[in-house]
């Protein structure tokens, strides 16, 4: 079967093209394209196309829809390639279209995984007082590759991780406790991704500082 492009319109959402089956005016479809993708197709109103070309146009329209969705999401938040694919699949787009779109976003600089992972690592270390393990789990959950995760974690020094832990301990756990209460503190800090060695060290230092301050007050 052959088809004819019967109408082309430029809209705020992109280029819309109405395609009608030759000999059957009741069989028609309107597809929406990203302008640059439509112009790359090199088609005009009145052009005749076959079924293979129509399949290509449907693919380009799905790709255009995926790009529009991706641009909107990336304008407000960071996404890894894998996380973007997962989100696009929620919109009932074919997986190959979602993967092609994610690759396009990487190639055109919309997704910069190394830079994003470094920024996320710094934020959770400084602002949330998370340790390496918790940050690594967060990055993995966001779909970043292991190589990207390890590189990002290494951009924060061991001293910075410990300083973040120490800052939290001084705010919440400075006053010395024993037994079950101390174990509860260790468990809470472990859930934030810090090692037992660092937690024990931080608690001991905070306790010493607390004792020194109470002696000075006396």
pLDDT tens, position by position, 19-53:
999 988 778 999 999 999 999 999 999 999 999 99
215 confidence band (pLDDT: 50, 70, 90): low
Residue 6 carries which DSSP code?
E
**Residue 214 pLDDT > 70:** no
Total Cβ atoms within 10 A of residue 118: 18
Tell me, yes or no, whether 197 and 117 share the same domain: yes
Q: Which domain holds residue 186?
A: 113-217
Query: Please, are residues 172 and 137 in contact by the beta-carbon 8 Å criterion?
Result: no
pLDDT, average across residues 63-83: 95
* Percentage above 70 pLDDT, the chain: 97
Q: Which residues contact 70 (CB under 8 A, 6 or more apart)?
A: 79, 84, 88, 101, 102, 105, 110
**How high is the mean pLDDT of the chain?**
93
The dihedral region occupied by 193, where left means phi > 0, alpha psi between -120 and 50, and beta the remainder, is left
- Maximum distance among all alpha carbons in the chain? 99
Overall number of domains in the chain: 2
113 confidence band (pLDDT: 50, 70, 90): very high
CB-side neighbour CA atoms (13 Å) of 196: 4
Coil, helix or strand at residue 111: coil
User: Which pLDDT does position 217 carry in this prediction?
Assistant: 56
216 confidence band (pLDDT: 50, 70, 90): low
User: Which pLDDT does position 30 carry in this prediction?
Assistant: 96
Tell me, yes or no, whether 103 and 117 share the same domain: no
Last residue of a domain, one of 107, 130, 149: 107
Last residue of a domain, one of 107, 136, 163: 107
Tell me, yes or no, whether 193 and 176 share the same domain: yes
Tell me, yes or no, whether 68 and 101 share the same domain: yes
Tell me, yes or no, whether 161 and 95 share the same domain: no
**Residue 194 pLDDT > 70:** yes
pLDDT, average across residues 121-139: 97
Last residue of a domain, one of 107, 141, 172: 107
Tell me, yes or no, whether 150 and 81 share the same domain: no
Q: Which residues contact 47 (CB under 8 A, 6 or more apart)?
A: 4, 5
Residue 49 carries which DSSP code?
E
pLDDT, average across residues 194-199: 96
User: Which pLDDT does position 4 carry in this prediction?
Assistant: 94
Tell me, yes or no, whether 69 and 142 share the same domain: no
Tell me, yes or no, whether 57 and 100 share the same domain: yes
Instruction: Tell which residue, 118, 80, 78, has the closest CA to residue 102.
Output: 80
pLDDT, average across residues 189-213: 91
């Amino acid at each position: 079967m052959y088809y004819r492009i019967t109408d082309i319109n430029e809209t705020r959402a992109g280029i819309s093209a109405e395609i009608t089956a030759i000999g059957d005016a009741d069989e028609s479809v309107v597809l929406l394209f990203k302008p640059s993708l439509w112009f790359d197709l090199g088609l005009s109103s009145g052009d005749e196309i076959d079924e293979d070309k129509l399949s290509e146009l449907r693919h380009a329209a799905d790709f255009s829809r995926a790009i529009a969705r991706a641009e909107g999401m990336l304008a407000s938040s960071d996404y890894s390639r894998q996380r973007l694919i997962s989100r696009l699949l929620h919109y009932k787009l074919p997986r190959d279209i979602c993967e092609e779109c994610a690759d396009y976003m990487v190639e055109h600089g919309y997704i910069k995984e190394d830079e994003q992972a470094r920024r996320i690592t710094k934020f959770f270390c400084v602002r949330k007082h998370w340790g390496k393990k918790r940050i690594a789990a967060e990055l993995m959950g966001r779909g970043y590759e292991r190589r990207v995760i390890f590189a990002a974690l290494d951009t924060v020094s061991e001293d910075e991780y410990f300083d973040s832990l120490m800052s939290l301990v001084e705010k919440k756990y400075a006053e010395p406790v024993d037994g079950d209460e101390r174990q509860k503190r260790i468990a809470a800090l472990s859930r934030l991704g810090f090692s037992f060695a660092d937690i024990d060290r931080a608690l001991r230092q905070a306790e010493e500082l607390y004792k020194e301050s109470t002696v000075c007050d006396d």
